[in-house]
Homo-oligomer: A and B are copies of this chain.
Amino acid sequence: MSPSTFEKILKEYFSKGTDHLLPNVSINCIVFGYDHPNLKVLAQKIPFNDLDSWVVPGGFIEREEELEAAAHKILKQSGIKDVFLKQVGAFGGLEKMFDQPFIESELPKEYFEIVEWISKRFVQVVYYGIVNFHDTNLLSDEGVLNSAWMNIEDTSKLPPSHTHLVHETKKKLITETITDPIVLNFFPESFTLNQLRGFYEAILNRPIDRGTFRRKYLSMGLLEKVDEKSAERGRPSYLYKFNKVKYLDSLNEKVKFGF
Contact = CB atoms under 8 A, between A and B. Distances in A.
Contacts of A94: 64-66
Nearest to A178: B257
A200 interface: yes
Interface residues of A, number: 37
A258 B204 CA distance: 12
A137 interface: no
B121 A64 contact: yes
Given A121-B64, A259-B213, A89 B92 contact: no
A226 interface: no
A257 B259 contact: no
Interface of A: 22-25, 61, 63-67, 87-94, 121, 123, 125, 175, 178-179, 200, 204, 208-209, 212-213, 216, 254-259
11 contacts: A23-B24, A24-B25, A25-B25, A90-B123, A123-B123, A178-B256, A179-B179, A179-B257, A200-B259, A212-B259, A213-B259
